[in-house]
Structure 1
Amino acid sequence: MYEATFTVSDSSAYTQPTAGTDCRIELWCNDHSDLLYVAGSAIDPLLSRIRADIGIEDQLRGDGEAIVITSSCLKRHETTYIERYLESHNCLLLPPLWYEDGAKHCRVLALDSRSLTDLYRDLVADGFEIDVRTKREVGAPSHSSPLLTLDDVVPTLTGRQRAALSLAVERGYYDLPRGTTTRELADELGVSRRTAEDHLRRAERKLITSMVSYLY
């Protein structure tokens, strides 16, 4: 079997609102509705767009994040959803789909490499822009080659969270003593100190909560 991750440029109600923002949407489709995890520094306009285009049945709000149950499924409103291409080529979508930086991000499992090639070909032929990020062969799980990889354990950060965390590590923010301050990091990132600290805290929280269960 083969696993691939790639981005698809489309104009869906979940894709467009993330363009030019640090917002991210993770989607689990339930046929009659969608379960969404939405995160970002300014998610209110994004939620307003979802409410207008798809409908929101219920939501739980937190600080810069929300869990949303939509009134209907995205597939009922669009004809370009990727599932119909997957079915044609015996490929499986590994949830969740996620939307970030104005693109749809997919993780797909195929029985053979040719199926993935044919999938890419048909998507491109229908006008989609495809950017393949990773591709790997999946073998039988073993202690030396587990099926669970770092990609499955490490959470996905937003682009701005990755940038802030990478710069912090590069500049020695986590060294003892610290090699830089959040003010200096903010200046390099071109954001306010509060925004830089917010990106770091969110990235740190995602990493810590994801990894802590594997420490026992």
Structure 2
Amino acid sequence: MSLYEASFRVKHECPYREISERHPDLTIREWYLSDCQVVELTSPGTPASELLDEIDDLGTVLHRSVDESGLHVVTQSCLCSLEDSIIERFEKYNTLYQPPTVHRQGWEHYSVIAFDESDVRALLRDLEADRDIEVLSKTAITEQQIPHSMLAPVDQLFEDVTDRQLAALRLALESGYYEQPRKTSLRALAEQTAVARSTYEEHLRKAENKILTNAGQFLRLVTTTSTGDPLVVERNRQPEQRAD
């Protein structure tokens, strides 16, 4: 099976696009989380005061530095006002978004991966209906590794996992439960909490199940270009005949 990777850039009404157009040396990288955006802004040289004012209006500034290498700012803003998210369109056409979105000189740059080329074509046609779009590359990925830059969005991996399930999973991980050999037991883990062993185990198993289910699409992408099944190869390997 082949995978298809597409890179393209679009223009539409967006505060980040408008800022990058007014300040052509500015690069904006945008990550989507479950309920917010984290945005990194970088620019060489000393920034103009009007740029700093515009950045302050984007959201909560988490980090800001200006030195000989230029400007570096990290902000966080709410997603509640976003409508018709382009990320939702990626999901509609079964394409996997590769963060971050990069805004530069008035363009938004995106990369996606899909199992079927027809899904990529359908997505691009949809975007052409209400955005200026330029396709930068569209490539079949065969017999090679998935790009290491493709990171699974954290909010997708932990979707529907409750706080208690996350707490149970973190305790098990930090206590060495998943190491070989194990450094602790379910009973010992439960004794560190305020719940019964059966309740703790239920939280842990549900967390494991949800995370593995959410990671399924990324697992398929990582393994789909592999040649052969190593487990099948191992199972079919015949033991060597010992010489008499």
Please point out which of 75, 96, 115 is paired with 1:92: 96
- State the TM-score, normalized to the length of structure 1: 0.59
Q: CA-to-partner distance for each residue in 1:106-147, whole Å, 9 max, x for gaps?
A: 01111111101100111112x111100011111232xxxx54
Deviation at 1:34, TM superposition (A): 2.0
- TM-aligned CA distance change 1:18 to 1:86, over 3 Å: same
Cross-structure match for 2:34: 31
- TM-aligned CA distance change 1:44 to 1:87, over 3 Å: farther
SS in 1 for 2:41: strand
SS in 2 for 1:19: helix
Which amino acid letter does the alignment assign opposite residue 112 of structure 1? Answer: D
Deviation at 1:35, TM superposition (A): 2.0
Q: CA-to-partner distance for each residue in 1:76-104, whole Å, 9 max, x for gaps?
A: 22324211211110011101110001010
Q: Quick check: 1:7–1:104 contact (8 Å CA) kept in 2?
A: yes
Paired residues in the alignment total 142
1:12 paired with 2:18, answer: no
User: What RMSD, in angstroms, separates the aligned Cα atoms of the two structures?
Assistant: 2.1
Q: Quick check: 1:43–1:65 contact (8 Å CA) kept in 2?
A: no
- TM-aligned CA distance change 1:65 to 1:80, over 3 Å: farther
Q: Quick check: 2:25–2:105 contact (8 Å CA) kept in 1?
A: yes
Q: CA-to-partner distance for each residue in 1:34-71, whole Å, 9 max, x for gaps?
A: 2222112436534433432x421422323322231313
Provide the C-alpha distance between the structure 1 equivalents of 2:48 and 2:136, rounded to a whole number of angstroms.
26
Q: Quick check: 1:29–1:35 contact (8 Å CA) kept in 2?
A: yes
Provide the C-alpha distance between the structure 2 equivalents of 1:31 and 1:62, rounded to a whole number of angstroms.
30
Q: Quick check: 2:61–2:73 contact (8 Å CA) kept in 1?
A: no
Which amino acid letter does the alignment assign opposite residue 39 of structure 2? Answer: L
Structure 1 vs Structure 2: percent identity of aligned residues?
A: 25
Please point out which of 65, 71, 87 is paired with 1:83: 87
Cross-structure match for 2:187: none
- State the TM-score, normalized to the length of structure 2: 0.53
Cross-structure match for 1:140: 143
User: Unmatched 5+ residue regions in structure 1?
Assistant: 153-216
User: Unmatched 5+ residue regions in structure 2?
Assistant: 150-244
Cross-structure match for 2:220: none
SS in 1 for 2:34: coil
